[in-house]
Amino acid sequence: LPVINTMMAKGAIPFDNKYSMWTVGIPMDDYQTKILEKASLVIAVGYDIIEYAPAKWHLTNADIIHIDTMPADINKNYQPEVEVVGNIPNSLERIMAKAARLAEPKQFLDIRQKMVDEHESYAHDMSFPVKPQKALIDCRRIMGKDDIVISDVGANKVWIARHYNCYEPNTCLISNGFATMGIAVPGAISAKLVHPDKKILAITGDAGFLMNVQEFETAYRLGTNFVTLIFNDCSYGLIKWKQDMQYGHHQYVDFTNPDFVKMAESFHAIGYRIEKTEDLLPTLRKAFQQDKPVIIDCPIDYEENMKLTAHLEHLMKTL
């Protein structure tokens, strides 16, 4: 069976498993939406209706099976044929004991290959400012399989959902559903306190970072040496993206930023600035060798936002 995960379930199945169809939930229809459209059955395991509304699934003629510790929240678009309520691992094991193997889902595996090819096409893109796809590929290269990324809320969250691939659960934490902007830095402090031996990387936009920048005093005082990567575009990037999609223009979303390197130093942290794309990977490597919190100021090419919108609009017509 092909498996799609929501943002909060990244890593529930390793991204390199041939049946992993990666992450659903960005504001636009994507490869995963097309897979759901083609599905004859959706098995929703631990599904939270708040995180990703069933109206966005675009199911055409599919039955739903609900497997969770709680009964389903029924609405117009989520009416399961069967509910399995109980301990989820136990339920899945007992179902598997009676299940028969299906034929390979070739049409879905073909879609997956397109996803993989698109993702890997950015691996050697050295244009500057850094493309978000390339930045996340470099982050994946530096992070171990069980190291932890904390995503802030903003345009960076869309790109992390789409391009930061996970091997294990709870290795990419995204505040989804209610979507708490400003979570990255305090979230990274908490993650480092719980997992002092793991690399902890906070990825945030400049706006999300500035919402809780004061917590760098806490980070230094507690001795938590994590790394914060700022996608710097001098804007509320996701709001700009949504304005451009809906109205064809944007306003009141741009602002100026402080010098993030000097700001890091004022908090007794270490600051780096990326001035060419080739520097990002070695800078990340160097940052994780420090015994203090680190801030990396990375200019990001958010012209890719509307390019992705146009790409996905075309994709939905051709898949």
Encode the chain (319 residues) as per-residue pLDDT tens digits: 999 999 999 999 999 999 999 999 999 999 999 999 999 999 999 998 889 999 999 898 899 999 999 999 999 999 999 999 999 999 999 999 999 988 999 999 999 999 999 999 999 999 999 999 999 999 999 999 999 999 999 999 999 999 999 999 999 999 998 889 999 999 999 999 999 999 999 999 999 999 999 999 999 999 999 999 999 999 999 999 999 999 999 999 999 999 999 999 999 999 999 999 999 999 999 999 999 999 999 999 999 999 999 999 999 999 8
Q: Determine if the peptide bond prior to 129 is cis (ω within 30°).
A: yes
| Single-letter amino acid code for the residue at 17 | N
75 alpha carbon, distance to own chain's centre: 27
DSSP letter at 224 equals: -
**pTM as predicted:** 0.95
Burial environment of residue 89 by CB neighbours within 10 A (0 to 12, 13 to 18, 19 or more)? exposed
| Single-letter amino acid code for the residue at 291 | D
Give how far Cα 262 sits from Cα of 206, 218, 243, 270, 294, Å.
Answer: 15, 18, 32, 9, 12
- Whether 65 and 86 have beta carbons less than 8 Å apart is answered as no
pLDDT at 256: 97
